[in-house]
Amino acid sequence: MKAELLLMVLAVLTTASSATASVRVAQDGRALSVILTQPGASDPERLAAAELASALQHVTGATFEVREEGGEAPANAIIVGPGPLARRHFPAVDLERMGGEQGIALCQGGRLLLAGGRPRGTLYAVFRFLQERVGVRWWTPWASHYPSRRRLTVPDGRVDLAPAFESRDPFWYPAFDAEWAMRNGSNSQHSRLTEAQGGKIVYKGFVHTFYPLVPPERHFAAHPEWYSLIDGVRKYEGAQLCTTNPELRDFLVERVREWLKESPDARIVSISQNDWFGPCQCGPCKAIDEREGSHAGTMLELVNYVAARLGPEFPNVAFDTLAYQYTRKPTKSLRPAPNVIVRLCSIECNFAEPLEHPSNAAFAEDIRGWNRVSDRLYVWDYTTNFAHYVMPHPNYFVLGPNVRFFHQHGVKGLFEQGAYQSHGSEMTELRAWVLAQLLWNPYQDDRKLIREFLEGYYGRAAARPIWQYLLLMQKAAKGFRMGCFTSPNAPYLRFATLSEAEKLWEEAERAASGDPDLAWRVRQGRLPVWYAWLVRWPQLRRECLASGAEWPVPTSRRALADRWLAVATGPGPKGWAPMTHISEGGVTPQAFVARFAQDEPDPEPRSELPKRSARPLLPADVPGAGRGCVDLQDDLARLYEEGVYAEVRADPKASDGLAAWMPGTHHEWAVQFPFSKAPERARSGRWKVYASVRIDRGESPNPGAGAFTAGIYDAGSGEGKGQVAVTVGEATDSYRSYLLGTVTSRAEMYVWVAPVPGSGVKAVWVDRVYLVPD
């Protein structure tokens, strides 16, 4: 449905109050309408009538009769679902030809029709009517809003209803609740919807199904040729399938047939790559991928083959595959078959900015390319931080523009992956509800939706400071490339920003203090800010002490952690359960808090850094240093757990007087130089890549032990492009330039340096990365 039509539909639905009121629903606590089901009504249609009666009772205080009627509908009747009454009183409406999720709200002749196609159209007609005309909201499984209406009438008018996307999955934990999903228009396979509640999209497999379909532990020994040829060797570890092998293709046809017979309700079956790299390099695979300019070529040929063989036998099934990481680029000429779904994944994007931002240009171009060749394009989008579910993740104002962008570029199904393992993640309730509304109609004002949720869920008084908090975090994230595994050293987690955030949440908590339900919700919403204080405590204490500012939370980290845990795992309303995961990796709240059982002394305030030299000395040990080279100084470095694992310090030995310092007690890639921060000319072409590194030896180093490692990593392909391991005996106290490799550079690459603990080395210093044209 086009944007103009969607807006027109909502306008008709919400602004028709000036028309003649043709159906009087209730007045002064008395029902004036009867709700009618019809002979042959399905379970979802009967449920729709019951839900309508219950909601209208909440709104008007009246008790509504629900009865089955096959003859004549009285005046002021509300007819629910298709059937003889609908045909008799609304003969111009052809409900039989409506799609399974299409519906209509039609008021004429003194009667109201709420009906649609099967299985879910009538349910959606009822719930959109209640939401758009009556003002009901289902914020979460435990929080709803039913306005109080002394008098409720419905004016004449017709509204045709249809969701913008055929697959709508706001994949956040609260959205799995069946009643919430049904009422908010989600047909997610992950929801707990039953057939009586209209059912849902049923997948077989979902994603990463290569090895579930062809388990290597059962087949590799007999058929190594079915698996990837990598550097001349057939292997299955970190590999894929050889998708051009004729025997494998026919074997897959039989395996997929087995799957579909096991799951007769499935409407989509996944034939998709493993969740790693390792595509096949054999001659036939390589030829197809080179012809198509993408590893998606071999993937798509395989899925088209299976779809062609099984399509006639399973005409209602679509065959789904991924355009993910190494298969993300669209094919040049090969098109997916009509019964094939390509699911494009946005994992490499900058989620602090919308897709139309220059930082996301590569992905935006890919979606345009897939839209040109695919008739049924789905997207797997990422809306959380998997490494820190509970940490602030300011993508709040990106959700709406992105959903609109997807719809405008031909996307038919949208999977919005969020924190899916427990309650308690950052703004989980807001994102679930706002995404559900946008997946139904992406052309709504997303900022208006956010404000509406804040006022409805937290209360109007508390909503104001929480809105200011969202704006604060969004502003602090500007210019930062925010991924879905962002570390706690993000710029929006600095002391000044978190201090302001703490004040705003304190104000919100005071504003909600008179209502126990609202106060509980605000306390839950505040947990992410406390989480940020806890994970960044040493850095934030140092920033506070250096600035002479007031510390806004308890001075005991342990005390704050205990308070955080009590809220996260304490009692709550019906429909809610305590937090169990703070990350996708499965870290529990209890394990997280256990890290802070002992308060540590305050860090020493860091002295003010000297001014960086504007003209660093050239590296004397790099051949060809000088004109045409690119000097990436430590001010461009990304520091992991800044203040703990790495920080910038004054160093007279460094080329510009400053360098990135790491203690020799950890092995993290704590100093990273992203090519995305390099000058534009350094993001393409062939370069020799050097890292300038020195060590502080400490008192008794072991000369044969490792001092540090360094390398080049391509985040786009998931491959290392060069690495060195330097021993204590090889390293020096003065800077030395180490050749890491020669690469064709890309913005997704970065250089990393990591200490090797246990060698006795006190510290590792990184001055710069130096690029020499090859």
Tell me: the pLDDT tens digits for 265-277?
999 999 999 998 8
Q: What domain range is 9 assigned to?
A: 3-162
How many helices and strands in the chain, by DSSP H and E? Answer: 20, 31
For residue 361, the one-letter residue type is A
What is the count of structural domains for the chain?
4
Strands (E) in 72-172, as ranges, are 78-80, 103-108, 111-116, 137-140, 143-145, 151-155, 157-161, 167-171
Answer yes or no: is pLDDT of 225 > 50. Answer: yes
Residue 607 is predicted with a pLDDT of 62
Distance, CA of 286 to CA of 279 (rounded, Å): 9
Please state the rounded mean pLDDT for residues 470-499. 94
Task: Confirm whether 392 is domain-assigned.
Answer: no
Distance, CA of 733 to CA of 751 (rounded, Å): 21
Residues 590, 672 share a domain: no
371 φ/ψ angles, rounded to the nearest 5 degrees: -65, -30
Distance, CA of 630 to CA of 156 (rounded, Å): 70
Residues 670, 588 share a domain: no
Residue 549 is predicted with a pLDDT of 95
Residues 136, 272 share a domain: no
Residue 22 is predicted with a pLDDT of 87
Task: Confirm whether 246 is domain-assigned.
Answer: yes
User: Residue 393, Cβ neighbours under 10 Å: how many?
Assistant: 27
Share of the chain above pLDDT 70, in %: 96
Residues 689, 556 share a domain: no
The pTM for the full model equals 0.84
Of 339, 363, 394, which marks where a domain is finished?
339
Q: What is the CATH number of the domain that holds 9?
A: 3.30.379.10
Tell me: the pLDDT tens digits for 285-333?
999 999 999 999 999 999 999 999 999 999 999 999 999 999 999 999 9
Please state the rounded mean pLDDT for residues 607-612. 79
Distance, CA of 662 to CA of 665 (rounded, Å): 8
Residues 221, 131 share a domain: no
Of 339, 367, 387, which marks where a domain is finished?
339
Residues 13, 153 share a domain: yes
pLDDT band at 746, cuts 50/70/90?
A: confident
Distance, CA of 248 to CA of 484 (rounded, Å): 35
Task: Confirm whether 710 is domain-assigned.
Answer: yes
CB 239 within 8 A of CB 232: no
Q: What is the dihedral of CA 463, 469, 473, 474, to 10 degrees?
A: 40
Residue 601 is predicted with a pLDDT of 85
Please state the rounded mean pLDDT for residues 214-226. 97
Residue 429 is predicted with a pLDDT of 98
| Buried residues in 538-568 as b, exposed as e (16+ CB within 10 A) | bbbbbbbbeeeeeebbeeebeebbebbbebb
Residues 642, 531 share a domain: no
Residue 539 is predicted with a pLDDT of 86
From the list 204, 174, 200, the residue with the least C-alpha distance to 189 is 200
Task: Confirm whether 731 is domain-assigned.
Answer: yes
The number of angstroms, rounded, from the C-alpha of 604 to the middle of its chain's C-alpha atoms is 38
Tell me: the pLDDT tens digits for 496-523?
999 999 999 999 999 999 999 999 999 9
Q: What is the CATH number of the domain that holds 687?
A: 2.60.120.260
Residues 26, 75 share a domain: yes
Q: Which two tokens stand for residue 191?
A: 């929801």
Tell me: the pLDDT tens digits for 23-81?
999 999 999 999 999 999 999 999 999 999 999 999 999 999 999 998 899 999 999 99
Burial class (CB in 10 A: 0-12, 13-18, 19+), 156: middle
CB 460 within 8 A of CB 194: no
Residues 567, 649 share a domain: no
Q: Give 164's contacts (C-beta < 8 A, 6+ positions apart).
A: 1, 6, 407, 439, 440, 441, 442, 443
The H or E element that residue 248 is part of is helix 246-262
Residues 662, 589 share a domain: no
Distance, CA of 654 to CA of 734 (rounded, Å): 9
Task: Confirm whether 562 is domain-assigned.
Answer: yes
71 φ/ψ angles, rounded to the nearest 5 degrees: -100, -95
Strands (E) in 55-134, as ranges, are 66-68, 78-80, 103-108, 111-116
DSSP 278-322: ----SHHHHHHHHHHTSTHHHHHHHHHHHHHHHTTT-TT-EEEEE
Residue 283 is predicted with a pLDDT of 96
Task: Confirm whether 303 is domain-assigned.
Answer: yes
Task: Confirm whether 611 is domain-assigned.
Answer: no
Residues 8, 144 share a domain: yes
Tell me: the pLDDT tens digits for 127-154?
999 999 999 999 999 999 999 999 999 9
Of 279, 310, 339, which marks where a domain is finished?
339
Q: What is the DSSP letter of 317?
A: -
Task: Confirm whether 526 is domain-assigned.
Answer: yes
Q: Which two tokens stand for residue 673?
A: 């130089």
The H or E element that residue 361 is part of is helix 361-373
Residues 155, 11 share a domain: yes
